[in-house]
Structure 1
Amino acid sequence: MSRIARSRLALTLRTSAAPFSTFSPAAAASSASKEAAAAADASLAPKDAAAAASVSSSAAGDPSPAPPSGARSAFGLLKTGILTAVTAAFGATGYVTYAYSLDEVDHMTRDFRKNSKIPISEDLSGFEKFKAMAYSETMKVPASAIDLYLDIRSQIEDQIQGFVEPSSEKLLPDLPPQEQHVFTIVLDLNETLVYSDWKRERGWRTFKRPGVDAFLEQLAKFYEVVVYSDQLSMYVDPVMERLDAKGCVRHRLSRVATKYVHGKHYRDLSKLNRDPARVIYISGHALESCLQPENCLPIKPWKLEAEDTQLIDLIPLLEYVAMARVSDIRPVLASFEGRDIAAEFIERSRRLHEQKQQHGRIWRR
């Protein structure tokens, strides 16, 4: 092989052993330009996002930034403090109203309200005047609040008193001088003198208790007779017009004359303008409906029993009390407590009669 042939063979072998490549100057330039564009896009992306967020925020109408968390917490603390103060004020007012009467509150706060109006003397120094003025202005608000509380409570209690207390301090007129010794007998109406009953086919009916006519006529000879009911006058007056045709009952008292306590109307005998030692209250519910149990003479409630004789049985005892003119009826009534009053009086009368007979026989000997 000639020298020229060997040179060509060596060149061919070197060319086939070199790695395969598609590199060209144009391709390299194109690739470099693409990488630069991508880098530019990446650098511009955050700015575009911020601009878009700014535009959307402006479009939403919120140009001002949100308040800092410290301001929000301070405002919440202020609201909590105000609510706590108002709640405490209402709680204190409720407790004072429950625990103390109006006069007690007025007495306890009188000095405080008086001291809140200290006059400022001209002899004081400038600092002392300022101090006195500051104290006076500081105390003026609570003092005015107490005055307002007292005024409102006084008005409310005055309104309530009209419903709770009897309509007058003297429910009955004064007794004439010639009747100062007369006892006053107070009678309940329903289930004592009458009984009201309702049925679908006839509605309301009021029935007279057996013996009520004779009872009223006999008592009117010895007593000042008063009917004291917890019913409204629109019920009491028509019933009494029919029941007391002879005018044995001098006075009628209805619900407005009662005292309202814990949801119930009570008879307050202390408002009758009568000596309590000379007042007897008769009722089928005497101890449950009267504020003076020592003046009560309880009898069995009447609920249409045809054989009832309670009123007639009481006449002997009541006649004896009136004629004996006892100085105080309350010990007499207490001696019958827990007993059948009519039967007990008959038994006592029998024993007294036997003692008198025995004493008479001894005296004759």
Structure 2
Amino acid sequence: MDNTSIITQLAKPKDEDNICPSPDKVSNSSLKKHRSRSIFSPFFCCFRHYHDHHVEAPPANNKTHALPPPPEENGGPPKCEQVQLAPPAEFLLPEVSIEDYGRSCVVIDLDETLVHSSFKPISNADFVVPVEIDGNVHQVYVLKRPHVDHFLQKMGELFECVLFTASLAKYADPVADLLDQSGVFRARLFRDSCVFHRGNYVKDLSRLGRQLSKVIIVDNSPASYIFHPENAVPVQSWFDEMADTELLELLPIFEDLSKEEDVYSFLQSLKDRTSDICKSSQPAGVALYQRKEISIVI
């Protein structure tokens, strides 16, 4: 098995890449996201990708608890050690606990969302995780995204939090042990819980066993939530920028989302607001998101 195949990562964008790349630079297999100082630019860019590339996805009103059909296989299945193609017999999550009853469920990605990992030594790594691959032990160097501890703490106070990564459990589980020592994640889902669809590992939210109108996915890769883009709060891919503040800046949005009975209307209004900002004649950087005493300038 290729060492890098245990971790699902997006390539680091080049410095000269634009925030919203032109269609000829984007493919369904990568759907890479790019750095920006704007906290809302991911919403506009990601939704524009879906419309520009005519990605086929289930209807937006598919908001039931029924399990979907078996995963689609395109171009032949991947290696058996990398993914399980058979759908689970039951929902992916256990029954909602008493503590989380009434809360929305937030599905949070791992790589390039909360951490960045590398098989190459990193001098300032927060964790070094040994991973066995084909009988050999390899060291994985893990950097934590700035403010991730505070972010997880606050998210655990507001939501039922679930870790859902397309990486293999042999790598992601020990990383999660070190990252989430206070037990914010009620459950952990790995690559074998994904649907392999058109070359991507997709996180099918309809298989969780939760009401979709109360499910939010936080992920740096639009390919991961291609079935349910209306449930997504996109984040910028993170690699090693220690001045990054995106997780901290997203907290006011999640505080508002935690009060919503139906997340669709809030996320749609946020998308519409972002689209209006991008279409307006205002100079870049003249837009505000205000909540209580917090103002985020983009």
- For this structure pair, what is the TM-score category when the shorter chain's length is used for normalisation? 0.5 to 0.7
1:267 to 190, 203, 220: 203
User: 2:289 corresponds to which residue?
Assistant: 347
> In the TM superposition, what whole-angstrom CA distance separates every residue of 1:278-328 from its partner, at most 9, and x where no partner exists?
11100111x221121110110111011111011111111111221x3x221
Q: Does 2:238 match 1:302?
A: yes
Shift of 1:165: 4.2
Shift of 1:348: 4.4
For residues 124-139 of structure 1, the aligned pairs below 5 Å read none
> In the TM superposition, what whole-angstrom CA distance separates every residue of 1:216-268 from its partner, at most 9, and x where no partner exists?
11111111110000011101111001101111111100011100112221000
User: 1:222 corresponds to which residue?
Assistant: 158
Whether the aligned pair in 1 keeps the contact of 2:166 and 2:191 (CA below 8 Å) is yes
For residues 62-101 of structure 1, the aligned pairs below 5 Å read none
Distance in 2 (CA, whole Å) between partners of 1:235 and 1:281 is 21
Q: Does 2:127 match 1:193?
A: no
Distance in 1 (CA, whole Å) between partners of 2:157 and 2:122 is 41
Q: Does 2:104 match 1:183?
A: yes
Shift of 1:198: 3.0
Distance in 2 (CA, whole Å) between partners of 1:319 and 1:242 is 26
Query: In the superposition, relative to structure 1, how do residues 344 and 166 fare at CA in structure 2: closer, same or farther (>3 Å)?
Result: farther
User: 2:85 corresponds to which residue?
Assistant: 164
RMSD (Å) for aligned C-alpha atoms: 3.1
Three-state SS of the structure 2 residue aligned to 1:221 is: helix
For residues 202-221 of structure 1, the aligned pairs below 5 Å read 204-221=140-157
Query: In the superposition, relative to structure 1, how do residues 306 and 176 fare at CA in structure 2: closer, same or farther (>3 Å)?
Result: closer
Query: In the superposition, relative to structure 1, how do residues 218 and 194 fare at CA in structure 2: closer, same or farther (>3 Å)?
Result: same
Distance in 2 (CA, whole Å) between partners of 1:243 and 1:253 is 15
Q: Which runs of 4+ in 1 moved over 4 A?
A: 200-203, 343-346
Query: In the superposition, relative to structure 1, how do residues 168 and 337 fare at CA in structure 2: closer, same or farther (>3 Å)?
Result: farther
Greater helix proportion: 1
Unaligned runs of 5+ in 2: 1-79, 124-138, 278-284
Distance in 2 (CA, whole Å) between partners of 1:228 and 1:201 is 25
User: 2:269 corresponds to which residue?
Assistant: 335
Three-state SS of the structure 2 residue aligned to 1:189 is: coil
Distance in 1 (CA, whole Å) between partners of 2:212 and 2:232 is 11
Query: In the superposition, relative to structure 1, how do residues 250 and 349 fare at CA in structure 2: closer, same or farther (>3 Å)?
Result: same
1:252 to 188, 192, 213: 188
Q: Does 2:248 match 1:315?
A: no
Distance in 2 (CA, whole Å) between partners of 1:345 and 1:221 is 29
Distance in 1 (CA, whole Å) between partners of 2:286 and 2:100 is 30
Whether the aligned pair in 2 keeps the contact of 1:187 and 1:227 (CA below 8 Å) is yes
User: 1:243 corresponds to which residue?
Assistant: 179
Shift of 1:335: 2.0
Query: In the superposition, relative to structure 1, how do residues 344 and 299 fare at CA in structure 2: closer, same or farther (>3 Å)?
Result: farther
User: 1:173 corresponds to which residue?
Assistant: 94
User: 1:288 corresponds to which residue?
Assistant: 223
Greater strand proportion: 2
Aligned residues: 189
**Residue type of the alignment partner of 1:205:** Y
> In the TM superposition, what whole-angstrom CA distance separates every residue of 1:38-77 from its partner, at most 9, and x where no partner exists?
xxxxxxxxxxxxxxxxxxxxxxxxxxxxxxxxxxxxxxxx
Shift of 1:184: 0.6
Query: In the superposition, relative to structure 1, how do residues 233 and 336 fare at CA in structure 2: closer, same or farther (>3 Å)?
Result: same
Shift of 1:345: 9.8
Distance in 2 (CA, whole Å) between partners of 1:221 and 1:197 is 31
For residues 46-65 of structure 1, the aligned pairs below 5 Å read none
> In the TM superposition, what whole-angstrom CA distance separates every residue of 1:161-209 from its partner, at most 9, and x where no partner exists?
x932443430001114674311111100000000012327986311110
